[in-house]
Amino acid sequence: MSLDLHVIKEGKSLRCGYTSGSCATAAAKAAAIMLETGEIIDYIEIDTPANIKLKLKVNNQNISKEYVSCSIKKDAGDDPDNTDGIEIFAEVGRRDDGNIIIDGGEGIGRITRKGLFGEIGQAAINPVPRQMIEKELTTVSSSGYNVLIYAPLGEIIGKKTFNKNIGIEGGISIIGTKGIVYPMSEEALLKTIYMEVDMVEESHGLDNIVLVPGNYGEKIAENLGIKGPIIKVSNFIGDSLLYVYNKGFKSITLIGHIGKFSKLSIGAFNTHSKICDGRMEAFVYYLALMGAGKDVLERVNNAITAEEGLSICIEEGYGQVLIYMEKGAEERVRKYLKDEQYSIKVVIYSMERGVEIC
């Protein structure tokens, strides 16, 4: 059943959904009830850590004397979640020692690196979903259960997620600290970035790390021969810088497009357009420092895109503006980190002209 809960994001009403952890919990509870009663049920209710009750449709019921299996279809609401619509199954069998043993089967990823929420080799089922499953099953019986969580499409869908980057392979993760999916959660994106940084620390140490907003920055790093593991940080430049710096990395290289890093060059540490748009202001600032005349400043100020602004600069003989911006960005990063001696390198590129601007 769809969750009738909405949040307002950027002036829009967006519907919330429920996590893979809630799906696994609901499937496990429904299977346990059917195991105890021998009767098929079509809906199941569970509590969530967000104190929101869920009533979910039960699918694919299969009852035998030894075990019962069923599934819950994931509904991510209006969040752009790769696991939206996946069927998450639970197979439940009885124990007689009061213990609840939870494991992952087909389509559930396995932990391959230290530093995550479990030991290497364990199923990627986070602590909160494990606690949710245990809590709900104890309301059914105190005798104990074996619980196997699986997702037949999990291996395919897992390849579309960040799992491999953070040390989870072979499928999806069973996650969620609240049980509810809140659309477009910045917190979730930041947690993913932080986990990737943690994995870099473990596998590569604390030497240079390369931060890029998106895919193209990776190509630039490769073309320039810049060494170091690469982390995509989207628009969260400031949060990522602070996390990396406080981890103790010796140096940071930032590689980004002129459209985003022009903003960074004047001290904007979240480069999303909804937060700030100081692209032309950055050009005007650095052109003024370079001694450009008012007519040049006005031409650039009237440009629509950063690429257009850069083209005007080059036409007017101020192609070196990118170098000024790079140095300015480096100075502002050091001030942001409160470390004037920190080793930081900023590379700004143009989609039309690459990085070889003169």
Identify which has the larger pLDDT, 275 or 338.
338
Distance CA 164, CA 343 (A): 29
Select from 141, 145, 120, 142 the least CA-distant residue to 130: 145
pLDDT recorded at residue 6: 76
Distance CA 105, CA 152 (A): 9
Structure tokens at 235: 């628009």
Residues in the chain: 358
Distance CA 320, CA 315 (A): 11
The one-letter amino acid code at 295 reads D
Identify which has the larger pLDDT, 358 or 35.
35
The proportion of the chain whose per-residue pLDDT surpasses 70, expressed as a percent, equals: 95
Domains and CATH numbers, the chain: 6-181 (3.30.2110.10), 186-349 (no CATH)
Beta carbons within 8 Å of 228's beta carbon, 6+ residues apart: 204, 207, 208, 209, 210, 253
Select from 26, 56, 28, 48 the least CA-distant residue to 149: 28
Cα three-residue angle 282-284-285, rounded to 5 degrees: 65
Structure tokens at 269: 């540490």
Beta partners for 14? Answer: 7
Tens-place pLDDT, residues 124-174: 999 999 999 999 999 999 999 999 999 999 999 999 887 887 789 999 999
Look at residue 10 and tell me whether its pLDDT is greater than 50.
yes
Distance CA 212, CA 336 (A): 18
